[in-house]
Amino acid sequence: MTHYAAPIKAKFWTPGVVVLAVLMAAGAAAIAARFIGGIGYVSNLTTARPWGLWIGVDVASGVALAAGGFTTAFLAHIIGRHYYEAVVRPALLTAVLGYTFVVLGLLVDIGRSWAIWKPMLYWNPTSVLFEVAMCVMLYLNVLYIEFLPIVVERFKGRVKLPGLLAVLNGPLDGLLKLADTVLPKIMWFFIIAGVVLSCMHQSSLGSLMLIAPTKLHPLWYTPMLPLLFLTSAIAVGYPMVVFEATLATTSLKLDGEMNILTPLTRVTLFLLGLYLALKVGDMVVRGTYVYLLDFTAQTNAFIIEVLFGVIVPWLMLLSPKLRRSRRALFIACTMIVGGVLVNRINVFVVGYRPPISEANYFPAIGEVLVTVGLIAALMFVYRFIVTYLPVLNKPEQEVSA
């Protein structure tokens, strides 16, 4: 099986991209409002509900759904399954963009965006958030280094800057050639570091809520939260690759890559099953199943999360026939991705009930616009990068031609 990534030769400004640009403009307006009138001007956040949509979706879900990056790096480069090489670059790009937008989301959410560097100077080792922040910062740099070879491959020997900048052509090309010699020799370190850093902060994102035992609903509050966050992040890695590859190859009319995606999701059966077993086991051991028939917003959200986000797609993946069907596999993987998304929203927003003020929270239109705008911007930049850099696989016919 040969694999050959190349820039996509397709029109950039399709109607879909125009829609993305409109959503980005709406998000930009909401972000401008946040930096003029304050967080309170665009959001429904309060004393009792300090974290809302931005932390639940932009940050927590953003990190979880970028897990395709380290799980594919593990598969193709650590245990050497080169058969899956074709999905590594798109997954890596998703992770690079995912984490970049996590940081952008954080810049909107934290009150003093200009002070975001301060945790590097003032350390608080007892803080789970401090550890998460350090890991995310380091991992973002690791991801950029892992992505460098793609940039080098595209521009090495082809640096042609216009006008006066032309004097830089020589030195820049030298730099790229140097990177091309050095990077392959040291990349092993960054690949392993990426997996280690991911395991650390994916789990610690779960530990974050252990500081709120009186606030988080018992269906989610468990000492197992870090393990559940880690296993669900690992389990969602390959389904996210399928989700993203199917969307990209469909919209750009490329080869569907089912010969890779079908075997890739076989291991998901085990990983998602493990997550399900841990989650159900935890519920049985702690006896929290007594809440299941409460019919409150919390318990309903939990049932939806586990039933449609884990159990149904797991049963679907059990069937080899469904795994080979492009449509069925896409549906199952979308449900798994949605399940992890709902889980993160549940832990950080829906399941969070301050017992004294019993304050409710529903995201304001401004918060929704910021989140939608950031996701649209992520997709826009993804589309831009795959158009100009060798990330996605060339269609088969062009390879043979």
Among 120-128, 160-168, 322-330, 376-384, the segment contacting another protein (CB under 8 A): 120-128
- The residue type found at 280 is V
- Contact between 303 and 292 (Cβ < 8 Å): yes
- Contact between 179 and 148 (Cβ < 8 Å): yes
The pair of three-digit structure tokens given for residue 304, joined into one six-digit string? 């939806």
* DSSP codes of every residue in 69-103: HHHHHIIIIIS--GGGHHHHHHHHHHHHHHHHHHH
28 is a site residue for another protein (CB under 8 A):
no
Least gap, CB of 292 to another protein (angstroms): 24
181 is a site residue for another protein (CB under 8 A):
no
Q: Which CB sits closer to another protein, 302 or 352? A: 352
**Cα gap 191→211, rounded to integer Å:** 32
Q: Which CB sits closer to another protein, 20 or 241? A: 241
240 is a site residue for another protein (CB under 8 A):
no
Q: Work out which of 16, 40, 170, 320 binds another protein, going by CB under 8 A.
A: 40
174 is a site residue for another protein (CB under 8 A):
no
Residue numbers 68-107 binding another protein by CB under 8 A: 73-82, 85-86, 88-89, 92
Nearest in space to 87 (alpha carbons), one of 256, 319, 234, 252: 256
119 is a site residue for another protein (CB under 8 A):
yes
Q: Look at the block and give the residue holding tokens 């616009």.
A: 369
Least gap, CB of 149 to another protein (angstroms): 6
196 is a site residue for another protein (CB under 8 A):
yes
Q: Work out which of 26, 175, 187, 292 binds another protein, going by CB under 8 A.
A: 187
Among 169-177, 180-188, 241-249, 360-368, the segment contacting another protein (CB under 8 A): 180-188
Q: What is the DSSP-derived secondary structure letter of residue 21? A: H
Q: Work out which of 17, 267, 280, 303 binds another protein, going by CB under 8 A.
A: 267
151 is a site residue for another protein (CB under 8 A):
no
**Cα gap 256→117, rounded to integer Å:** 42
Q: Look at the block and give the residue holding tokens 């970028």.
A: 66
The count of other CB atoms within 10 Å of the CB of residue 253 is 9
The pair of three-digit structure tokens given for residue 164, joined into one six-digit string? 């006066």
Whole-angstrom Cα Rg for the chain: 22
195 is a site residue for another protein (CB under 8 A):
yes
**Cα gap 135→46, rounded to integer Å:** 28
Q: Which CB sits closer to another protein, 20 or 310? A: 310
Q: Work out which of 6, 26, 48, 292 binds another protein, going by CB under 8 A.
A: 48
272 is a site residue for another protein (CB under 8 A):
no
Q: Work out which of 11, 13, 15, 122 binds another protein, going by CB under 8 A.
A: 122
Number of residues that bind another protein (CB under 8 A): 97
Q: Which CB sits closer to another protein, 23 or 202? A: 202
9 is a site residue for another protein (CB under 8 A):
no
199 is a site residue for another protein (CB under 8 A):
yes
**Cα gap 181→175, rounded to integer Å:** 10
146 is a site residue for another protein (CB under 8 A):
yes
Backbone angles phi, psi at 314, to 5 degrees: -65, -45
Least gap, CB of 350 to another protein (angstroms): 15
Among 9-17, 41-49, 332-340, 361-369, the segment contacting another protein (CB under 8 A): 41-49
160 is a site residue for another protein (CB under 8 A):
no
Q: Work out which of 11, 15, 126, 158 binds another protein, going by CB under 8 A.
A: 126
347 is a site residue for another protein (CB under 8 A):
no
